[in-house]
Chain A
């Protein structure tokens, strides 16, 4: 009887402990969100957006992100989408790369030499993403899903999400496929379900506190594939764009909140 009572008390205290941890994690996340320096990256991104660069020495201000040349308001919330001039579906970063080559006359090699930055120096794509995504605050997420190529991209993204690859036979769903899973203190959202995808896609790109870096969705795809031990995907490839397209379409209808913060 004594042993039984002791066992019950132990079970109770560990449940209370679990709740405390969850509450503390929640508090920590709130503090991280309040102290996010994402806005500093937005400011730097704005300067870069207006800075003339490349052989043609022009800025990106005439770049058409889908809402017309130079229109930024709500542009990010409506990406990825099909672009007639490039005849393919593009996410923000892929579109920026297109503008760097088409508008500024830069070579793809030069423009993609440094797509992901460091804590000491953010990349162009990171700074520009921060600024442009910030211009979609309060706009409902609505990527293109009507053109046949948009449908194909969405379907490809969905298939890739569940497709197991590499030496470890991993798919996105291996980690993000079951409810209630986490790695250390990170909850693993089931991203093919709208209720999980919505809050996530509403806060990417984001400032990452643990590395003091601003990170983008192309980086996230790249790093997930690295963790899955696949060869490195090409920046702005059909694969990474399709995955971003699938995830964003799953989150559609959610109000975009602007660059967020991650642990």
Chain B
């Protein structure tokens, strides 16, 4: 399955940057069976990377426990208007997607 769209908002708070990112992903656990009774193979995001102006500030490992079409929301220390935030994911099939937005 081709990677679907992502959406991100990054806004400046008092001394922090609030980031909210939505991603399209089936996040299959490998435990579900399809209509024919066959196991649907595992397919989930494994790595989540957050970069600010090209520097990695967060590297997260997540698992099948996260829901389909996940939403992540987190705060980064500091930040300034116009900072470039890049969020990318990599799943267990080697597929990936990324989105970039400037802090507003």
Contact = CB atoms under 8 A, between A and B. Distances in A.
A85 B1 CA distance: 40
B68 interface: yes
Given A40-B22, A44-B5, A212 B71 contact: no
Nearest to B20: A34
Interface residues of A, number: 11
Contact of A43 (B5, B68, B73): B5
A212 B7 contact: no
A12 to B, nearest CB: 37
Interface in A96-144: 119-120
B7 A40 contact: yes
B68 A40 contact: no
Nearest to A212: B68
Contacts of B1: 120
A238 interface: no
B26 A40 contact: no
A39 B69 contact: no
Contacts of A36: 71
B29 interface: no
A44 B71 contact: no
B24 interface: yes
Interface string B21-38: 011101000000000000
Nearest to A37: B69
A40 B24 contact: yes
Contacts of A44: 4-5
B56 interface: no
A119 B5 contact: no
B67 A39 contact: no
Contacts of A35: 71, 73
Contacts of A120: 1, 26
Q: Which of B23, B24, B69 has the most CB of A within 10 A?
A: B69
Interface string A28-61: 0000001111011001100000000000000000
Given A44-B4, A44-B5, A39 B68 contact: no
Interface in A165-220: 212
Contact of B67 (A34, A40, A212): A212
A119 B27 CA distance: 11
Contacts of B68: 119, 212
Interface in B38-80: 67-71, 73
Contacts of A39: 7, 22
A212 to B, nearest CB: 4
A153 B5 CA distance: 38
A156 B11 CA distance: 48
Nearest to B40: A120
Contacts of A43: 5, 7
Contacts of B6: 40
A44 B67 CA distance: 20
Contacts of B22: 37, 39-40
Nearest to B72: A35
B5 A212 contact: no
8 contacts: A34-B71, A35-B71, A35-B73, A36-B71, A40-B7, A44-B4, A44-B5, A120-B26
Given A34-B73, A40-B22, 12 more contacts: A34-B71, A35-B73, A36-B71, A37-B71, A39-B7, A40-B7, A40-B24, A43-B5, A43-B7, A119-B26, A212-B68, A212-B69
